[in-house]
Amino acid sequence: MKASSILASMLAAVTMTLAVTASAQTTIRVGGTPTSAPFTYLDTKTNQIDGLMVDIAKAVAQKAGLQLQFEPMAFSALIGSLTTSRIDLISAGMFITDVRKQVVDFSQPVFSFGEGLIANKKDNTAYTSFADMKGKRIGVAIGTATVELVNKANEQYKFAEVKLYDTTVEMLSDLNNGRIDLMALDYPISVLAEKSGNYPNIKVVRTYKPAKVGDVGLATRKGDTVLMNKVNTAITQMKADGSLDAILKKWGI
């Protein structure tokens, strides 16, 4: 083989290696929960993770030149999976809180909401706050910001029980079957659960006023400024061109 041919082959190999490496660098693993519609959920028709935060992550990736690989997991496992590098980004209905900011970095907010309250249909109490729930059995999902609110309220108002759940589905099932009296859950998820018809004995308590309204953002590992800068730049562009509003409208937020 001529020297020029050998050199050409070497250059081609190097180019291919660099292309593979570049491709690997632009693929990020995104954590989301398969049971938190409308934020993230498993679409049984396609067997793929779908939802509001999935659409936001995809739009961010498109603007940032990234490829996504979604990793479904329990909400309580998201931050641990991020800090141990099992995933690179969290895109879920996760509030930006001071406690969480100690271990992960958050993007600028993408939208805001408060907790909702769900009761049994036969319960006609016009709940307005945690003060009205003394003596009740209350469910809340592990790892959510609502846990802190409920536990703090329990110290003051003395609930009969605060029951912790790994998944929203388990909690809704227990409420539907009378094993708990109330459940505190993200308001958008509460409304969707009521509309689904899968839990005929539940209802959203419209008289309830959320104890706290929080901002939702995407999260990266602490100090991953390269990825965070890409995410924030993309979100800024989405806010400016209306694409973020379009996604929120699509999901009724």
Range in 7-11, 24-28, 46-50, 177-181 with the lowest mean pLDDT? 7-11
| φ/ψ of residue 198, rounded to 5 | -75, -15
Distance CA 233, CA 65 (A): 12
**Which domains, and CATH codes, for the chain?**
3-110+217-250 (3.40.190.10), 114-213 (3.40.190.10)
What is the reported pTM? 0.72
Distance CA 170, CA 194 (A): 15
pLDDT value at position 11?
35
Are 234 and 63 contacting, i.e. CB atoms less than 8 angstroms apart?
yes
**Encoding tokens for residue 123?**
């319960």
Are 64 and 81 contacting, i.e. CB atoms less than 8 angstroms apart?
no
Secondary structure element (H or E) that encloses residue 190, with its range: helix 187-196
pLDDT value at position 48?
87
Which pLDDT band, with edges at 50, 70 and 90, does 207 fall under? very high
Over residues 92-111, the pLDDT tens digits come to: 999 999 999 999 999 999 99
**Encoding tokens for residue 87?**
């995933």
pLDDT value at position 12?
41
Distance CA 27, CA 80 (A): 20
pLDDT value at position 16?
40
Over residues 132-187, the pLDDT tens digits come to: 999 999 999 998 889 999 999 999 999 999 999 998 999 999 999 999 999 999 89
Tell the residue number behind the tokens 């109490």, with chain if given: 125
First to last CA, the chain: 65
pLDDT value at position 19?
34
Over residues 58-72, the pLDDT tens digits come to: 999 999 999 999 999
Q: What SS3 string covers 85-99?
A: CCCCEECCCCECCHH
